[in-house]
C-alpha cells in the first residue's frame, strides 16, 4: 500500500514527505516509472545514506527492500545474482557458510545491493580491491522509458549508474563476484599511533601488505598528539590460521545484536566532554601493538551494527557525517583539516582514516587515490556550518572531493570542482532519462 510519509537519512536531518511505494514485481515498477508525475521516482533501500540522497519530497520513493531474493549462486565462479533489495547482512548470512564473502563491506551490513551500487560504496580494502562497482558483473536497470536493460561494464550507462545516486534508473538485479574465503574470521594486527605523522608513515609503508586497513583517529587530541590513532589491519583468515576450536565452525556467521538504542537521548549528550572521555578510554584500551589476533567479521567490520538504531544517541537534532578524500601529496591539507576540527572542539567519536587505491570508472564515484577521513558530528553548534564550509574550501583547493552518500549540506557550486566528470555524467543521464524521471532531494539540492 502506498503511503505518504516523512523520510529522513541516517543523520535524521531535513526530512521530506513522499509517497512510499513498496516495490512489487517488474511489471509493477515499469508501470510506476512510465506513469511518474512531475516530482519523479527514486529507489530507497535501508536508508543508511546520511543526508537526503534517498529522499524525494513530493514524489514517489520505491521501497526496494521487499525485493530481497537471491536468484542464483555459483560457488565455483563465486558469482551471485541477487535482487537489488538484498542487504549485505543477508548476503553474509547466506553466503559465508558457502565460503563466499561480499567483495566490499562498508562499516555496516545494513545496506542493500542497490544502494551499494548507487553510492559505489567502499570498504577497508579499497587500496587493493577497489569499490563495490568493480565487482558487479552485470545489472538490470529499469530506465525511464519503461525498458529493462541489462548493463555490463562495457556500457557508459553502467558506470553512470555505479555511483550515480539512483538518478539513472531503478537497479532491479545485479550479479556480483564474491570473494572466496575459508573462514568467517580475520587475522588482525593492531597498532597505536602517537600522532598523525606516525600514522601516515605506517599506513604508507605497510598498507599494501594487508587486505584490510583502517585507522580510528581521536579528532579531539591536539598539539603533539594531533591525530593520535589506532590502526587496525588484517586479512581474511585461512582455515589453518584459526585456533583448533574454531576450525570446525570456521564459516559460521551469527552476528549478535546487543541492544537497540531507544529514542530517548537528548541532543547535546555527545558533547566535547563526553566524547573526549570516550576517546581517551578507547585509545588507552587499545594495545600498543598486537599481531595476528583472530576477530570475527562482524567485530572487525561492523562494530556499530551490534547496536540497532545507534543514530538515536545523537538526539532529535541529529548529526551529520563529513567524509572527504584528498590526493596523496596533500597531507598538509589533511593535517589542517584535523587541526581545524580539533581547535573547534567539534566532538566526533572516532574519525576514520583510510587510504584509497586506484580511481574507479564510475563518473560520480567518490573514491580517488588519496587519504579519506570520515567523521560523525552532532548538530547544534552555531559554528558548525561555517567550519564545514571552510573545510570544503580546503578540500576543493587540494583537488579533493566529498562523498555524496554522506553529504547533507554541500552547495551546488561546490560539486563541479569536486567531480570533474560531472558534465559527462549529466550527458549520459540526459540521454537515458531526458525528462528527469529519476530524481531526489539530493539531486535538487546540488543541481545534479
- Could you tell me where the beta strands, DSSP code E, fall in 357-414? 370-378, 401-402
In the region spanning residues 9 to 48, those forming contacts with another protein, defined by CB under 8 A, are 11, 13-18, 39
Candidates 91, 110, 90, 112; CA nearest to 171 is 112
Q: Is position 367 an interface residue for another protein (rule: CB under 8 A)? A: no
Q: Is position 177 an interface residue for another protein (rule: CB under 8 A)? A: no
Q: Is position 181 an interface residue for another protein (rule: CB under 8 A)? A: no
Residues 6+ apart with CB under 8 A from 444: none
**Of 116-124, 134-142, 395-403, 409-417, which segment contacts another protein by CB under 8 A?**
409-417
Q: Is position 413 an interface residue for another protein (rule: CB under 8 A)? A: yes
Whole-Å CA distances, 141 to 44, 147, 200, 201, 218: 15, 8, 41, 43, 42
**Of 129-137, 234-242, 281-289, 406-414, which segment contacts another protein by CB under 8 A?**
406-414
CB 163 within 8 A of CB 363: yes
Q: Is position 267 an interface residue for another protein (rule: CB under 8 A)? A: no
Candidates 113, 378, 267, 212; CA nearest to 121 is 113
Q: Which residue has the cell 550507462?
A: 157
Looking at the Cβ atoms of 273 and 412, the one nearer to another protein is 412
CB 448 within 8 A of CB 442: yes
Cα–Cα distance for residue pair 178/359, rounded to 1 Å: 21
Looking at the Cβ atoms of 18 and 220, the one nearer to another protein is 18
Q: Is position 2 an interface residue for another protein (rule: CB under 8 A)? A: no
Looking at the Cβ atoms of 43 and 176, the one nearer to another protein is 43
Q: Is position 266 an interface residue for another protein (rule: CB under 8 A)? A: no
How many residues bind another protein (CB under 8 A)? The answer is 34
In the region spanning residues 315 to 344, those forming contacts with another protein, defined by CB under 8 A, are 318, 320
Among 122, 228, 363, 409, binds another protein (CB under 8 A): 409
Q: Which residue has the cell 588507552?
A: 284
Cα–Cα distance for residue pair 439/166, rounded to 1 Å: 8
- Helices 331-344, 196-206: crossing angle, 10 deg rounding: 140
Q: Which residues bind another protein (CB under 8 A)?
A: 4, 6, 11, 13-18, 39, 51-52, 56-59, 318, 320, 379, 384-386, 388-389, 408-413, 441, 444-445, 447
Amino acid at each position: 500500500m502506498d503511503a505518504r510519509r516523512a523520510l529522513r537519512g541516517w543523520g535524521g536531518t531535513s526530512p521530506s514527505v513522499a509517497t512510499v511505494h513498496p516495490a512489487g514485481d517488474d511489471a509493477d515498477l515499469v508501470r510506476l516509472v512510465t506513469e511518474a508525475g512531475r516530482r519523479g521516482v527514486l529507489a530507497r533501500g535501508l536508508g543508511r545514506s546520511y543526508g537526503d540522497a534517498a529522499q524525494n519530497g513530493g514524489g514517489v520513493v520505491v521501497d526496494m527492500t521487499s525485493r530481497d531474493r537471491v536468484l542464483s549462486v555459483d560457488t565455483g565462479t563465486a558469482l551471485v545474482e541477487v535482487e537489488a533489495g538484498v542487504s549485505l547482512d543477508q548476503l553474509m548470512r547466506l553466503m559465508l557458510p558457502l565460503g563466499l564473502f561480499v567483495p566490499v563491506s562498508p562499516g555496516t551490513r545494513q545496506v542493500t545491493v542497490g544502494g551499494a551500487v548507487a553510492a559505489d560504496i567502499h570498504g577497508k580494502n579499497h587500496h587493493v580491491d577497489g569499490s563495490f562497482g568493480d565487482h558487479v558483473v552485470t545489472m538490470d536497470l529499469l530506465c525511464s522509458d519503461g525498458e529493462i536493460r541489462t548493463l555490463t561494464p562495457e556500457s557508459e550507462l553502467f558506470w553512470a549508474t555505479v555511483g550515480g545516486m539512483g538518478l539513472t534508473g531503478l537497479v532491479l538485479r545485479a550479479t556480483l563476484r564474491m570473494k572466496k574465503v575459508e573462514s568467517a574470521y580475520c587475522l588482525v594486527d593492531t597498532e597505536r599511533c602517537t600522532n598523525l605523522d606516525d600514522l601516515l608513515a605506517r599506513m604508507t609503508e605497510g598498507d599494501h601488505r594487508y587486505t584490510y586497513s583502517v585507522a580510528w583517529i581521536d579528532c579531539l587530541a591536539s598539539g603533539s598528539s594531533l591525530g593520535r590513532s589506532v590502526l587496525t589491519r588484517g586479512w581474511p583468515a585461512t582455515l589453518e590460521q584459526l585456533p583448533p576450536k574454531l576450525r570446525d565452525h570456521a564459516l559460521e556467521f551469527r552476528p549478535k545484536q546487543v541492544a537497540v538504542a531507544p529514542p530517548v537521548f537528548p541532543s547535546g549528550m555527545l558533547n566535547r566532554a563526553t566524547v573526549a572521555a570516550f576517546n581517551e578510554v578507547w585509545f588507552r584500551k587499545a594495545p600498543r601493538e598486537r599481531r595476528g589476533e583472530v576477530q570475527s567479521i562482524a567485530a572487525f567490520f561492523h562494530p556499530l551494527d551490534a547496536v540497532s538504531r545507534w543514530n538515536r544517541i545523537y538526539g532529535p537534532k541529529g548529526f551529520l557525517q563529513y567524509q572527504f578524500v584528498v590526493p596523496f601529496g596533500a597531507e598538509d591539507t589533511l593535517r589542517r583539516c584535523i587541526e581545524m576540527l580539533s581547535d573547534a572542539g567539534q566532538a566526533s567519536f572516532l574519525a576514520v582514516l583510510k587510504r584509497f587505491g586506484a580511481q574507479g570508472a564510475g563518473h560520480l564515484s567518490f573514491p580517488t587515490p588519496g587519504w579519506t577521513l570520515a567523521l560523525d558530528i552532532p548538530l547544534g553548534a552555531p559554528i558548525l556550518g561555517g567550519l564545514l564550509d571552510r573545510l570544503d574550501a580546503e578540500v576543493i583547493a587540494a583537488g579533493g572531493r566529498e562523498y555524496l552518500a554522506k553529504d547533507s549540506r554541500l552547495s551546488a557550486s561546490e560539486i563541479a570542482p569536486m567531480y570533474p566528470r560531472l558534465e559527462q555524467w549529466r550527458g549520459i543521464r540526459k540521454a537515458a532519462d531526458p525528462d528527469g524521471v529519476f530524481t531526489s532531494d539530493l539531486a535538487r539540492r546540488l543541481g545534479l
